[in-house]
Structure 1
Amino acid sequence: MGRYRKRLLENFQDENFNPDTRYELAYKRVKRIKGFYIHLLIYVLVNAFIIVSSFNRSVLGTEVFFRWETFSTALFWGIGLVAHGMSVFGRDLFFGADWEERKIKEFMDKDKSQKWE
């Protein structure tokens, strides 16, 4: 767990930390997570509509399906969606909350077992 996150958790457990402030921080976090999931839902719906309508036009013979224009919106909006997810979930999105500590312990245990004493 990172130093900043550890310090933040210690502040949550501190008896001097106002319960109203804790509620406010939790409320803001829930709102950010909810905003990300709404963004994800709109991304899926809009891009599904674009791709399905392009596919339908290609089946009718008026257009070619595999064109840059068909998938460019999904690609660039997807990059923005990943950035939004990283801002909401942070590093925990890929590595988990205590990934660093687990990896350090794993390497230390590995080094310990390889030494001849």
Structure 2
Amino acid sequence: MQDYEDEKKYKLAKKRVDDERGFYTHLTFYIVINIIVLFINTNFESQGFKNWSQWHLYITPILWGIGLLFHGLKVFKNNFIFRKSWEERKIKELMDKDDTLDVL
């Protein structure tokens, strides 16, 4: 019975790691490809930064960014940084360190 529970926990943890790795891969591609697309579309060699005000250059990063946001929400739905449990954990961490608390 214990082996089954351990295997189930392992599979859930592995899926979580795979989901997070997938998100970070998605984020990496988003950054790299959008930088390349922006520099190609701005005709940087001949016009420099003069062409950055054209709205159509930002459609791909904005729409893809919305998709990336939803991907991140799906992956990290229970693990956002500033949740109540994070606050409690941080308070406990600071209380455990005597030197971090300033006495007024």
Equivalent position of 2:63 in the other structure: 76
Q: CA distance change for structure 1 residues 29 and 41 in 2, over 3 Å: closer, same or farther?
A: same
1:1-117 mapped onto 2 (5 Å cutoff) = 18-55=5-42, 57-61=43-47, 64-96=51-83, 98=85, 102=88
- Supply the distance in 2 between the matched residues of 1:60 and 1:30 (Cα, whole angstroms): 45
Normalized against structure 2, the TM-score is what?
0.68
User: What CA RMSD, in Å, does the superposition of the two structures yield over aligned residues?
Assistant: 2.4
Instruction: Give the greater-gyration-radius structure (CA).
Output: 1
Which sections of structure 2, spanning at least 5 residues, go unmatched? 89-104
- Supply the distance in 1 between the matched residues of 2:13 and 2:37 (Cα, whole angstroms): 36
Identity percentage of aligned residues: 32
Normalized against structure 1, the TM-score is what?
0.62
- Supply the distance in 2 between the matched residues of 1:84 and 1:39 (Cα, whole angstroms): 9
Q: Letter of the 2:80 partner, please give it.
A: L
Q: CA distance change for structure 1 residues 72 and 38 in 2, over 3 Å: closer, same or farther?
A: same
CA positional deviation for 1:66: 1.5
- Supply the distance in 2 between the matched residues of 1:16 and 1:58 (Cα, whole angstroms): 60
Which sections of structure 1, spanning at least 5 residues, go unmatched? 1-14, 103-117
Larger relative contact order (CA 8 Å, sep ≥ 6): 1
